[in-house]
Protein backbone atom coordinates (compact mmCIF):
# COMPACT_ATOMS: atom_id res chain seq x y z
CA UNK A 1 0.00 0.00 0.00
CA UNK A 2 1.43 3.33 -0.98
CA UNK A 3 0.87 6.32 1.22
CA UNK A 4 1.19 8.92 -1.49
CA UNK A 5 3.61 11.33 -3.02
CA UNK A 6 4.45 14.28 -0.73
CA UNK A 7 5.65 16.27 -3.74
CA UNK A 8 2.17 16.07 -5.27
CA UNK A 9 0.64 17.30 -2.02
CA UNK A 10 2.99 20.32 -2.04
CA UNK A 11 1.92 21.11 -5.61
CA UNK A 12 -1.74 21.00 -4.57
CA UNK A 13 -1.05 23.27 -1.59
CA UNK A 14 0.76 25.74 -3.84
CA UNK A 15 -2.12 25.72 -6.32
CA UNK A 16 -4.62 26.25 -3.49
CA UNK A 17 -2.71 29.24 -2.13
CA UNK A 18 -2.38 30.69 -5.62
CA UNK A 19 -6.12 30.32 -6.17
CA UNK A 20 -7.08 31.95 -2.86
CA UNK A 21 -7.32 35.54 -4.22
CA UNK A 22 -9.49 34.41 -7.13
CA UNK A 23 -11.73 32.45 -4.78
CA UNK A 24 -12.12 35.48 -2.51
CA UNK A 25 -13.08 37.62 -5.49
CA UNK A 26 -15.61 35.03 -6.65
CA UNK A 27 -17.15 34.86 -3.17
CA UNK A 28 -17.50 38.65 -3.08
CA UNK A 29 -19.18 38.65 -6.50
CA UNK A 30 -21.72 35.97 -5.54
CA UNK A 31 -25.30 37.18 -5.32
CA UNK A 32 -26.80 37.30 -1.85
CA UNK A 33 -29.29 34.65 -0.72
CA UNK A 34 -32.83 35.37 -1.87
CA UNK A 35 -31.79 37.37 -4.91
CA UNK A 36 -33.25 36.87 -8.37
CA UNK A 37 -30.19 34.90 -9.53
CA UNK A 38 -31.02 31.89 -7.33
CA UNK A 39 -30.47 28.42 -8.79
CA UNK A 40 -33.29 26.92 -10.81
CA UNK A 41 -34.63 23.96 -8.78
CA UNK A 42 -35.75 22.21 -11.98
CA UNK A 43 -32.26 22.21 -13.51
CA UNK A 44 -31.23 18.84 -14.94
CA UNK A 45 -27.86 17.18 -14.66
CA UNK A 46 -26.81 14.34 -16.93
CA UNK A 47 -23.94 12.02 -16.09
CA UNK A 48 -21.71 10.61 -18.75
CA UNK A 49 -21.68 6.85 -19.18
CA UNK A 50 -18.23 6.78 -17.55
CA UNK A 51 -19.46 8.66 -14.50
CA UNK A 52 -22.54 6.47 -14.25
CA UNK A 53 -20.47 3.29 -14.35
CA UNK A 54 -18.12 4.68 -11.69
CA UNK A 55 -21.08 5.51 -9.48
CA UNK A 56 -22.51 2.02 -9.96
CA UNK A 57 -19.16 0.39 -9.21
CA UNK A 58 -18.69 2.44 -6.04
CA UNK A 59 -21.81 0.97 -4.50
CA UNK A 60 -20.69 -2.64 -4.87
CA UNK A 61 -17.90 -3.65 -2.53
CA UNK A 62 -15.69 -6.31 -4.08
CA UNK A 63 -13.75 -7.96 -1.26
CA UNK A 64 -13.18 -11.36 0.28
CA UNK A 65 -15.44 -11.32 3.35
CA UNK A 66 -14.07 -14.66 4.54
CA UNK A 67 -10.49 -13.35 4.49
CA UNK A 68 -11.54 -10.20 6.35
CA UNK A 69 -13.27 -12.37 8.95
CA UNK A 70 -10.19 -14.61 9.38
CA UNK A 71 -7.86 -11.64 9.79
CA UNK A 72 -10.24 -9.90 12.21
CA UNK A 73 -10.46 -13.04 14.30
CA UNK A 74 -6.66 -13.47 14.29
CA UNK A 75 -6.21 -9.87 15.44
CA UNK A 76 -8.86 -10.30 18.14
CA UNK A 77 -7.30 -13.45 19.59
CA UNK A 78 -3.73 -12.14 19.26
CA UNK A 79 -2.50 -14.74 16.77
CA UNK A 80 -2.04 -12.36 13.81
CA UNK A 81 1.65 -12.24 12.91
CA UNK A 82 3.12 -9.12 11.39
CA UNK A 83 6.19 -9.52 9.19
CA UNK A 84 8.14 -6.38 10.06
CA UNK A 85 10.79 -7.13 7.43
CA UNK A 86 8.24 -7.03 4.60
CA UNK A 87 6.75 -3.80 5.93
CA UNK A 88 10.20 -2.22 6.23
CA UNK A 89 11.12 -3.29 2.69
CA UNK A 90 7.96 -1.75 1.28
CA UNK A 91 8.47 1.48 3.25
CA UNK A 92 12.03 1.77 1.95
CA UNK A 93 10.93 1.06 -1.62
CA UNK A 94 8.20 3.69 -1.35
CA UNK A 95 10.66 6.24 0.08
CA UNK A 96 13.14 5.53 -2.73
CA UNK A 97 10.39 5.98 -5.32
CA UNK A 98 9.30 9.29 -3.80
CA UNK A 99 12.87 10.56 -3.51
CA UNK A 100 13.56 9.49 -7.09
CA UNK A 101 10.61 11.55 -8.32
CA UNK A 102 11.61 14.59 -6.27
CA UNK A 103 15.23 14.54 -7.45
CA UNK A 104 14.37 14.35 -11.17
User: pLDDT truncated to tens, each residue of the chain (104 aa)?
Assistant: 556 665 555 555 555 555 566 566 566 555 555 555 566 788 888 889 888 888 877 666 678 899 999 999 999 999 999 999 999 999 999 999 999 877 76
- Which pLDDT score is estimated for 20? 61
CA atoms of 96 and 104, how far apart (whole Å): 12
For the chain, first and last CA: distance in Å? 23
Instruction: Answer whether 2's CB lies under 8 Å from 90's CB.
Output: no
Would you call 34 helix, strand, or coil by DSSP?
coil
Q: What is the pLDDT of residue 47?
A: 82
Nearest one of 104, 102, 93, 100 to 3, comparing CA atoms: 93
Which ranges of 43-83 does DSSP label H, i.e. alpha helix? 49-59, 65-77
Amino acid sequence: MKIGNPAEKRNVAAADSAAAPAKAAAEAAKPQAGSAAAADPSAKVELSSSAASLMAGASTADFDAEKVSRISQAIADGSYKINAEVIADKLIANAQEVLGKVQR
